[in-house]
């Protein structure tokens, strides 16, 4: 095992905050080589229980790839290539133990990638994604949800590099932290010079349910082009007391309100999956994760 | 000599031609109405006369007050006495309506009005339009409702006293009372300086209190009919359809 | 993680420190304990201060340069030594002032008298009158406003200085704080007794005398319970110094229920490395308000920090940064929520033009004990052309659930529609763009006293000249 630097912030900031990146001893056991092509069937489901190098290619037709990763200790690398006018919808459901995930995507002209990541209380997960929007009018949409409890840790990095003209990116992140959960999300939109007409937006919403949680949020915008529109937003905090009161007035006990709201926090992400079987499975898991306490 | 002469004007936006050789004249002191169905090119004509860089003139000329202004920048046209009341006025944070109007007046007249005189004039104009005086100190159009934005445009018209006032659907989205107020504002403008309004509208309500001299009907980027006030009555009765020969829904 | 070469290239050219090891060594060896002893002796420091300086020097030589932020390798460290040694350097002749600064003075309408006094900077800066006037008016209430050196020797304040000086910004904070601790000179000391509320602002004066004040000046302000002060830092004119480094330090102690507003419009000459450290600690129910405009400097590192230490303490930061040609301005704010029910609000605007780089950098930390705290951050950036750069790097570190934290950032350009609208009302394109930028900066100008707001708008107009082309 070798120690490697992971999830580096594209531009470092104040060192004392400890957000510039993380390091892990990288497990280097045998890895499966998997190739998935969206052209084959409308829904492709793969189960990842150990290290894997996965290559995903696009298709001109709508299709869905669902990755269910629950390895105990693994390095999972995903390479995504969407050629001209191809589209890819990739769903990653991540559970399990000490896993390192890397996603690298290249988008050509008019290509689109829709990424859905749902983290269901992984023990210690480092997950980094780099999206290279090279082609003109390429589009990237991501919906990321996480539910983290106990003493579990999640280190997320999403770096969207908008190089092509008129590229559009849209990222929504929603999460719930409870117990002694520890999470960091670094989300960067990087408008490169020449990306005229590009737009990028990112929003993170974090619900904190216990006073022992640690949440770090680093929403970065880098911009070297005049003709762009970029925005970032983050809201972090407790449940709105008005919501609690409203539900109590309808006879729901407080403990249950927390469960309902924690599940609803990720509900809108789960509904993006668009595959009933997967959606049901995730909802079931979400319910169970919450009930574990 | 006419105040505004448009000759054979062709205009495109993003390589799509919207006006195909339009000609029309507005005489000094007259009230003109430009009507037509949605997407006919009414606003295009207004924006082009004001000199919006978005609209590319591919043919023809615009003569104002004897000068060819076809290639002139919007600020120079404003100084010559052209005004456009925007359908969707932009919001500019950080600049108050009052400060903005004073800068604009200074640019157009070339002289800085005394603060006291300016405030007095502004107050009178706001009263004419039944605008709350507090709007003067609010950021330009920021957080104004649709109706307030339209009134703020007419307020500028009253203060700037242009020779030609192009009013681009100033009445759209307003309730009956507000239309009446705006109409009174236009009348006050005429009274104060004898300027010529060119009213772009779908609706004839706003024209009730304004004696129209001439009406122009535009469809598909061409002037299809011109005439006197009687044309308005005709449209009230039959709609545009019989004039353009097309279903306009 | 796989790095694309293009990303790596940009990162390196813009952000890496190319500060070689031997350069750092040189930097340390450039200033010796002997030089420090000399400075200290000339200033007649008390023994503890000499000790403090020597200890700071030791820390300085040990500490590494920061690994983030704009490059400072263009900074010629020999100048620091030269500057510290040769006091006569401050006797800059008006004729030696670079053309663009002279022009700025002319266009800002700085009165002839003031310009002449700048010409004789080493001899006298004509701020005595202001200073005495203010002192006369406020002295009766027990307010102290003097230079730090005098206060240090005044038996009444010596102990206060000793117990507060660089306690908030310790020399170990970063390399330039250590340098400051070693060579600091000049600056202000303000003490406002309990319950005293000043209606008019105090303005910092710059005694640019032969003692080498200015580049390492130290500002120490202490507000006792329920007092109120507005302090304005060197706003009236661009300051010009020979050497290219400014490493000042500002320490603000805001007592229970007290309120301090600290305003700065910075317009240093464009060859300056501005590595300034500003920090405030706020006790129960107290409030700190920062109003900050950054227009000058070649490179800036400036992130005023507010430490909210008492229940219900609050901080507000309102700032604007305008980075033009050749400028790399890295600015922002830091907030530490370290007590229950504390509140903070950051509102910043940044503008990049003609190849300028502006970076907004912030840190909002909410500690476990800061139950019931609130924070909101809003930053907006405007790109005026495609040669410039604007980065936004906020960090939130939240360690309690009972809080409400919000952040929003926006980046964009001046809309063509807005320019057309203004042009249709008679403004030429340049005036229209300048007006939009002034409006964009309205968050700061609304917070400033009128004369400073006017000055700031003049600065913006000046910076906007020639944008169109």
Q: Supply the pLDDT for residue C211.
A: 31
- At C248-306, the pLDDT tens digits run 899 999 999 999 999 988 877 777 888 999 999 999 999 999 999 998 889 999 999 99
- At B37-73, the pLDDT tens digits run 888 999 999 999 999 888 999 999 999 999 999 999 8
Q: Supply the pLDDT for residue A195.
A: 97
* CB within 8 Å of C168: residues ≥ 6 apart: C251, C252, C253, C279, C280, C281, C307
Q: What is the DSSP letter of C196?
A: -
Name chain C contacts of A208, Cβ cutoff 8 Å: 398, 400-401, 403
Q: What is the DSSP letter of B207?
A: G
- Residue, of C245 and A247, whose pLDDT is higher: C245
Nearest to C406 among A6, A20, A235 (CB): A235
Element (H, E) at C335: strand C328-337
Determine the distance in angstroms separating the CA of C439 from the nearest CA of chain B, rounded to an integer. 4
Rounded Cα distance between C96 and C89, Å, is: 11
Does residue C181 contact residue C59 with C-beta atoms inside 8 Å? yes
Determine the distance in angstroms separating the CA of A288 from the nearest CA of chain C, rounded to an integer. 22
> For an interface test with C, which of A12, A26, A133 has the most C Cβ atoms less than 10 Å from its Cβ?
A12
Rounded Cα distance between B34 and B43, Å, is: 10
On whether both C20 and C63 belong to a single domain, the answer is: yes
Name chain B contacts of C440, Cβ cutoff 8 Å: 93-94
Cβ of B160 and C425 within 8 Å?
Answer: yes
* Residue C418: closest C-alpha in chain B: B90
The half-sphere exposure of A96 on its side-chain side, counting CA atoms within 13 A, is 25
Residue A269 lies in a domain: no
Q: Classify C32 as helix, strand or coil.
A: coil
Structural domain for C426, as ranges? 414-469
> For an interface test with C, which of B92, B109, B165 has the most C Cβ atoms less than 10 Å from its Cβ?
B92
By DSSP bridging, strand C218-223 and strand C249-254 are parallel
> For an interface test with C, which of B49, B55, B75 has the most C Cβ atoms less than 10 Å from its Cβ?
B75
Element (H, E) at B138: none
CATH of domain B4-244: 3.40.50.300
Rounded Cα distance between C264 and B180, Å, is: 50
Instruction: Give whichever of A173-187, B85-99, B175-189 has the largest mean pLDDT.
Output: A173-187
Q: Where exactly are the structural domains of chain B?
A: 4-244
Cβ of A236 and C413 within 8 Å?
Answer: no
Those residues of chain C whose CB sits closer than 8 Å to some CB in chain B are 415-418, 420-429, 431-432, 435-436, 438-443, 445
On whether both C328 and C317 belong to a single domain, the answer is: yes
Cβ of C426 and B95 within 8 Å?
Answer: no
* Residue C385: closest C-alpha in chain A: A226
Statement: residue A291 has pLDDT above 50: no
Residue A261 lies in a domain: no
Q: Supply the pLDDT for residue C51.
A: 96
Given CB atoms, is A20 within the 8 Å cutoff of chain C?
yes
Does residue A117 contact residue A144 with C-beta atoms inside 8 Å? yes
Look at residues A253, B63, C154, A229 and name the one whose alpha carbon lies nearest to residue C144. C154
Name chain C contacts of A132, Cβ cutoff 8 Å: 4
Cβ of B107 and C425 within 8 Å?
Answer: yes
- Residue, of A93 and A29, whose pLDDT is higher: A93
Cβ of C442 and B103 within 8 Å?
Answer: no
Cβ of C393 and A223 within 8 Å?
Answer: no
Cβ of B77 and C424 within 8 Å?
Answer: yes
* Residue A162: closest C-alpha in chain C: C7
Nearest to C436 among B53, B74, B92 (CB): B92
The domain total for chain A is: 1
The domain total for chain C is: 3
Show the tokens assigned to C373: 């705290």
Cβ of A209 and C401 within 8 Å?
Answer: yes
Nearest to C426 among B53, B108, B140 (CB): B108
Name chain C contacts of A236, Cβ cutoff 8 Å: 396, 398, 403-406
Look at residues A171, A156, A175 and name the one whose alpha carbon lies nearest to residue A265. A175
Nearest to C420 among B74, B79, B107 (CB): B74
- Residue, of C458 and A211, whose pLDDT is higher: A211
On whether both C237 and C342 belong to a single domain, the answer is: yes
On whether both C247 and C318 belong to a single domain, the answer is: yes
Give the model's confidence band at C19: pLDDT under 50 very low, under 70 low, under 90 confident, else very high: very low
Cβ of C389 and A221 within 8 Å?
Answer: no
On whether both C140 and C12 belong to a single domain, the answer is: no
Residue A264 lies in a domain: no
- At A156-174, the pLDDT tens digits run 999 999 999 999 999 999 9
Name chain B contacts of C426, Cβ cutoff 8 Å: 75, 78-79, 104, 107-108, 160
Neighbours of chain A (3+ CB pairs under 8 A): C
Statement: residue C240 has pLDDT above 60: no
Give the model's confidence band at C79: pLDDT under 50 very low, under 70 low, under 90 confident, else very high: low
Name chain A contacts of C5, Cβ cutoff 8 Å: none
- At C374-403, the pLDDT tens digits run 999 999 999 999 999 999 999 999 999 999
Those residues of chain B whose CB sits closer than 8 Å to some CB in chain C are 50-54, 73-75, 77-79, 83-84, 86, 89-90, 92-95, 100, 103-104, 107-108, 139-140, 156, 160
Complex ipTM:
0.92
On whether both C268 and C399 belong to a single domain, the answer is: yes
Give the model's confidence band at B209: pLDDT under 50 very low, under 70 low, under 90 confident, else very high: confident
Statement: residue B104 has pLDDT above 60: yes
- At C326-341, the pLDDT tens digits run 999 999 999 999 999 9
Give the model's confidence band at C29: pLDDT under 50 very low, under 70 low, under 90 confident, else very high: very low
Statement: residue A119 has pLDDT above 50: yes
Look at residues B28, B23, B30 and name the one whose alpha carbon lies nearest to residue B7. B23
On whether both C395 and C426 belong to a single domain, the answer is: no
**What mean pLDDT is reported for chain A?**
91
On whether both C47 and C109 belong to a single domain, the answer is: no
- At C148-183, the pLDDT tens digits run 888 888 899 999 999 999 999 999 999 999 999 998
Instruction: Read off the pTM.
Output: 0.84
Can you spell out the DSSP letters for A212-224?
Answer: T-EEEEEEEEEE-
**CB burial of residue B247 (10 Å; 0-12, 13-18, 19+):** exposed
Long-range pairs, C105-108, Cβ under 8 A, ≥24: C105/C237, C105/C238, C107/C458, C107/C462, C108/C237, C108/C455, C108/C458, C108/C459, C108/C462
- Residue, of A271 and C135, whose pLDDT is higher: A271
Can you spell out the DSSP letters for C65-111?
Answer: PPSSSS--TT--THHHHHHHH-GGGG---GGGS-HHHHHHHHHHT--
> For an interface test with C, which of A80, A190, A232 has the most C Cβ atoms less than 10 Å from its Cβ?
A232
* Residue C391: closest C-alpha in chain A: A222
Show the tokens assigned to A271: 């509904």
Given CB atoms, is A156 within the 8 Å cutoff of chain C?
no
Cβ of C423 and B73 within 8 Å?
Answer: yes
Cβ of C439 and B139 within 8 Å?
Answer: yes
* Residue B83: closest C-alpha in chain C: C424
Q: Supply the pLDDT for residue C10.
A: 26
Domain boundary among C87, C114, C129: C87
> For an interface test with B, which of C380, C410, C422, C426 has the most B Cβ atoms less than 10 Å from its Cβ?
C426
By DSSP bridging, strand A22-26 and strand A32-37 are unpaired
Q: Classify B79 as helix, strand or coil.
A: helix
Q: What is the DSSP letter of B72?
A: -
Question: With pLDDT > 70 as the criterion, what percentage of chain A qualifies?
Answer: 96
Mean pLDDT of C6-12: 27
- At A122-143, the pLDDT tens digits run 999 999 999 999 999 999 999 9
Q: Supply the pLDDT for residue C120.
A: 21
On whether both C76 and C109 belong to a single domain, the answer is: no
Determine the distance in angstroms separating the CA of C390 from the nearest CA of chain A, rounded to an integer. 5
* Residue C405: closest C-alpha in chain A: A236
Domain boundary among C87, C107, C133: C87
Neighbours of chain B (3+ CB pairs under 8 A): C
On whether both C132 and C10 belong to a single domain, the answer is: no
Cβ of A15 and C68 within 8 Å?
Answer: yes
Name chain A contacts of C307, Cβ cutoff 8 Å: none
**CB burial of residue A43 (10 Å; 0-12, 13-18, 19+):** middle
Rounded Cα distance between A107 and A91, Å, is: 17
Helix axes C47-62 and C175-183, enclosed angle (nearest 10): 150
Cβ of A192 and C10 within 8 Å?
Answer: yes
On whether both C165 and C184 belong to a single domain, the answer is: yes
Residue A292 lies in a domain: no
CB contacts < 8 A, B to C, total 80
Note whether B touches A: 3 CB pairs or more under 8 A.
no
Structural domain for A86, as ranges? 2-239
């Amino acid at each position: 095992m070798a120690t490697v630097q992971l999830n580096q912030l594209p531009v470092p900031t104040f060192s004392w905050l400890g957000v510039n990146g993380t390091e892990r001893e990288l497990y280097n056991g045998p890895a499966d080589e998997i190739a998935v092509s969206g052209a084959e069937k409308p829904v492709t489901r793969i189960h990842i229980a150990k290290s894997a190098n996965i290559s995903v290619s696009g298709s001109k037709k709508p299709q869905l790839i669902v990755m269910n990763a629950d390895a105990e200790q693994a390095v999972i690398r995903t390479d995504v290539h969407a050629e001209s006018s191809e589209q890819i919808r990739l769903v990653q459901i991540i559970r399990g133990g000490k896993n390192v995930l890397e996603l690298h995507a290249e988008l050509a002209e008019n290509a689109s990638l829709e990424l859905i990541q749902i983290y269901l209380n992984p023990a210690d997960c480092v997950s980094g994604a780099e999206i290279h929007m090279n082609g003109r009018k390429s589009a990237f949409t991501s919906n990321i949800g996480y539910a983290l409890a106990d003493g579990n840790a999640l280190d997320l990095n999403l770096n969207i590099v908008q190089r092509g003209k008129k590229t559009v990116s849209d990222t929504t992140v929603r999460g719930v932290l409870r117990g002694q959960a520890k999470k960091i999300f670094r989300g960067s939109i990087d408008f490169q010079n020449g990306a005229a007409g590009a737009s990028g937006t990112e929003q993170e919403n974090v619900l904190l349910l216990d006073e022992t949680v640690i949440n770090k949020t680093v929403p970065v915008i880098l911009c070297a082009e005049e003709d762009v529109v970029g925005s970032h937003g983050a809201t972090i905090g407790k449940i709105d007391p008005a919501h609690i009161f409203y539900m109590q007035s309808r006879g729901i006990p407080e403990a249950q309100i927390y469960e309902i709201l924690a599940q609803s926090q990720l509900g809108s992400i789960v509904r993006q999956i668009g595959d009933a079987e997967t959606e049901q499975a995730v909802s079931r898991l979400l319910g169970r994760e919450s009930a574990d306490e | 000599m006419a105040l505004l002469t448009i000759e054979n004007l062709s205009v495109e936006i993003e390589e799509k031609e919207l006006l195909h050789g339009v000609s029309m004249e507005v005489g000094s002191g007259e009230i003109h109405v430009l009507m037509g169905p949605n997407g006919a090119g009414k606003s295009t004509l207004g924006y082009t006369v004001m000199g919006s860089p978005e609209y590319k003139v591919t043919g023809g000329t615009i003569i104002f007050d004897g000068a060819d202004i076809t290639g002139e920048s919007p600020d120079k046209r404003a100084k010559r006495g052209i005004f456009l009341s925007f359908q969707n006025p932009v919001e500019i944070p950080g600049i108050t309506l009052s400060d903005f109007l004073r800068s604009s007046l200074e640019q157009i007249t070339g002289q800085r009005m005394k603060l006291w005189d300016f405030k007095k004039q502004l107050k009178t104009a706001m009263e004419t339009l039944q605008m709350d005086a507090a709007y003067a100190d609010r950021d330009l159009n920021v957080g104004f409702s649709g109706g307030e934005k339209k009134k703020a445009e007419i307020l500028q018209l009253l203060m700037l006293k242009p020779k030609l006032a192009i009013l681009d659907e100033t009445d759209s989205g307003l309730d009956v009372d507000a239309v009446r107020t705006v109409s009174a504002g236009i009348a006050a403008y005429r009274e104060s300086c004898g300027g010529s309004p060119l009213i772009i509208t779908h609706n004839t309500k706003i024209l009730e209190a304004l004696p129209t001299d001439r009406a122009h009907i535009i469809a598909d980027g061409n002037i299809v009919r011109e005439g006197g006030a009687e044309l308005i009555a005709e449209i009230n009765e039959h709609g545009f359809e019989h004039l353009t020969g097309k279903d306009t829904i | 993680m796989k790095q694309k070469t293009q990303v790596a290239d940009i990162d390196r050219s813009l952000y890496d420190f190319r500060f070689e090891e031997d350069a750092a060594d040189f930097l340390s060896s450039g200033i010796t304990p002997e030089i420090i002893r000399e400075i200290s002796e000339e200033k007649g420091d008390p023994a503890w201060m000499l000790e403090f300086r020597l200890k700071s020097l030791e820390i300085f030589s040990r500490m590494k340069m920061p690994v983030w932020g704009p490059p400072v390798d263009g900074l010629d460290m020999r100048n620091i030594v030269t500057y510290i040694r040769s006091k006569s350097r401050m006797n800059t002749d008006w004729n030696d002032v670079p053309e663009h600064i002279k022009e700025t003075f002319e266009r800002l309408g700085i009165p002839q008298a003031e310009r002449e006094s700048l010409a004789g900077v080493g001899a006298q800066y004509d701020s005595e009158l202001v200073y005495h006037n203010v002192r006369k008016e406020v002295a009766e209430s027990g307010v102290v406003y003097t230079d730090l050196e005098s206060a240090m020797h005044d038996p009444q304040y010596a102990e206060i200085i000793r117990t507060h000086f660089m306690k908030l910004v310790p020399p170990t904070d970063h390399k330039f704080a250590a340098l400051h601790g070693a060579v600091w000179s000049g600056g202000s000391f303000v003490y406002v007794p309990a319950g005293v509320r000043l209606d008019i602002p105090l303005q910092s004066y710059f005694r640019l005398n032969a003692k080498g004040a200015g580049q390492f000046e130290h500002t120490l302000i202490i507000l006792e319970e329920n007092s109120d002060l507005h302090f304005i830092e060197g706003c009236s004119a661009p300051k010009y110094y020979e050497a290219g480094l400014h490493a000042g330090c500002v320490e603000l102690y805001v007592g229970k229920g007290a309120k301090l507003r600290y305003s700065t419009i910075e317009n240093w000459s464009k060859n300056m490395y501005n590595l300034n450290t500003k920090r405030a600690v706020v006790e129960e129910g107290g409030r700190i308000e920062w109003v900050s405009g950054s227009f000058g400097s070649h490179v800036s590192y400036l992130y005023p920090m507010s430490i909210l230490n008492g229940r219900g303490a609050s901080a507000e930061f309102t700032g604007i940064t305008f980075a033009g040609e050749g400028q790399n301005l890295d600015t922002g704010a830091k907030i530490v929520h370290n007590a229950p029910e504390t509140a903070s609000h950051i509102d910043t605007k940044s503008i990049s033009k003609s190849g300028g780089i502006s970076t907004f950098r912030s840190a909002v930390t909410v500690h476990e004990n800061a139950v019931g705290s609130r924070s909101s951050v809003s930053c907006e950036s405007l790109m005026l052309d495609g040669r410039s750069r604007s980065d936004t790097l906020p960090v939130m570190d939240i360690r309690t659930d009972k809080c409400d934290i919000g952040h929003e950032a926006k980046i964009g350009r001046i809309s063509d529609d807005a320019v057309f609208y203004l042009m249709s009302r008679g403004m030429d394109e340049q005036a229209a763009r300048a007006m939009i930028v002034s409006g964009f900066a309205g968050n700061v100008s609304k917070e400033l006293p009128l004369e400073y707001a006017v000055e700031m708008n003049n600065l913006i107009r000046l910076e906007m000249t020639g944008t169109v082309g």
